[in-house]
């Protein structure tokens, strides 16, 4: 239970779903975890479930001022940052086609899903470099590889995260920062957000049948992939994609 022992890791959007599962697993494997979310009750519940290896900070990842405050606080209290999981994200209403989405919906999704990741990397990389290096994991999606006619802005945002991850990875590698950056691409995972695209049992069963492995993913399935990328076990991996989707992208 010590795969990330001694590491300080920030996990955004950790008040539920994949973020919560990731924060709990990282703490169980020895990390000190800073849990952030706009959902204070959810974030506090995550910390309570973890116990002594975590604390909560309220954060809107689309706001640069919040990133500056969080990073400054980590430096003041923990003195370093070794890992960053840019997990916070939203899907928006379902269905949302490019013809029906409003500009406001489009901008809000990209502000959280893309700008939030950009700001995390912008402010996280310098302190991780100062800490001797580290690992960034950006949550993208299976949607980054496929057309998403019912989730137009969401698909576009996750495609942007996939590409931006490679940019950060190569820039850091070439500059000798010792900061790795990879993206994780979940398929259909049973989380509150995932349930939003399956409004009833009939739709849920239809989606289940489309997954080659025959079942939905759980938040813990994604958390274990993130744990690997945050740990030193993945020291030679940067700028790549880890797809965890039950085989859907192989069809």
For 5-29, how does the pLDDT look when each residue is reduced to its tens digit (9 = 90+)?
A: 999 999 999 999 999 999 999 999 9
Containing domain of residue 185, as a range? Answer: 8-243
What pLDDT is recorded for position 93? 83
* Beta-carbon-side half-sphere exposure of residue 109 (alpha carbons within 13 Å): 24
- Report helix angle 116-130 to 64-77, nearest 10: 30
Residue 134 counted as domain residue: yes
Distance CA 219, CA 96 (A): 24
What pLDDT is recorded for position 207? 87
What pLDDT is recorded for position 126? 98
DSSP, collapsed to helix, strand or coil, labels residue 247 as coil
- Residues annotated catalytic, as ranges: 154
Residue 233 counted as domain residue: yes
- Whether 120 and 84 have beta carbons less than 8 Å apart is answered as yes
Report the pLDDT averaged over residues 43-66.
Answer: 96
Residue 132 counted as domain residue: yes
Phi, psi of 184 (to 5 degrees): -115, 140
- Whether 29 and 4 have beta carbons less than 8 Å apart is answered as yes
Residue 51 counted as domain residue: yes
Residue 248 counted as domain residue: no
Distance CA 167, CA 117 (A): 12
**pLDDT over 90, % of the chain:** 88
pLDDT in tens, 196-230: 677 778 878 988 999 999 999 999 999 999 999 99
Residue 224 counted as domain residue: yes
Residue 249 counted as domain residue: no
What pLDDT is recorded for position 196? 67
Domain of residue 191, CATH code: 3.40.50.720
pTM check: above 0.85 = yes
Distance CA 193, CA 135 (A): 26
Distance CA 173, CA 238 (A): 8
Domain count, the chain: 1
pLDDT in tens, 117-173: 999 999 999 999 999 999 999 999 999 999 999 999 999 999 999 999 999 999 999
């Amino acid at each position: 239970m010590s795969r990330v022992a001694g590491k300080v890791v920030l996990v955004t959007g950790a008040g539920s779903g994949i973020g919560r599962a990731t924060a709990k697993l990282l703490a169980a494997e020895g990390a000190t975890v800073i849990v952030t979310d706009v959902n204070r009750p959810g974030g506090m519940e995550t910390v309570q479930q973890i116990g002594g290896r975590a604390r909560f900070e309220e954060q809107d990842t689309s706001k640069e001022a919040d990133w500056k405050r969080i990073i400054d606080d980590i430096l003041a209290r923990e003195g370093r940052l070794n890992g960053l999981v840019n997990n916070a994200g939203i899907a928006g209403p379902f269905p949302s086609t490019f013809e029906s989405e409003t500009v406001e919906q489009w901008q809000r999704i990209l502000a959280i899903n893309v700008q939030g990741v950009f700001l995390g990397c912008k402010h996280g990389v310098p302190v991780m470099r100062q800490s001797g290096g580290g690992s960034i994991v950006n949550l993208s999606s299976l949607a980054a590889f496929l057309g998403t006619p019912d989730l137009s802005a969401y698909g576009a945002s996750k495609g942007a995260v996939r590409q931006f991850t490679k940019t950060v990875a190569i820039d850091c590698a070439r500059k000798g920062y010792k900061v790795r950056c990879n993206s994780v691409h979940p398929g259909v995972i049973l989380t509150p957000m995932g349930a939003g695209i399956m409004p009833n049992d009939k739709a849920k069963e239809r989606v289940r049948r489309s997954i080659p492995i025959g079942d939905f993913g759980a938040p813990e399935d994604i958390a274990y992939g993130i744990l690997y990328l945050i740990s030193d076990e993945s020291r030679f991996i940067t700028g790549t994609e880890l797809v965890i989707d039950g085989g859907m992208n192989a069809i």
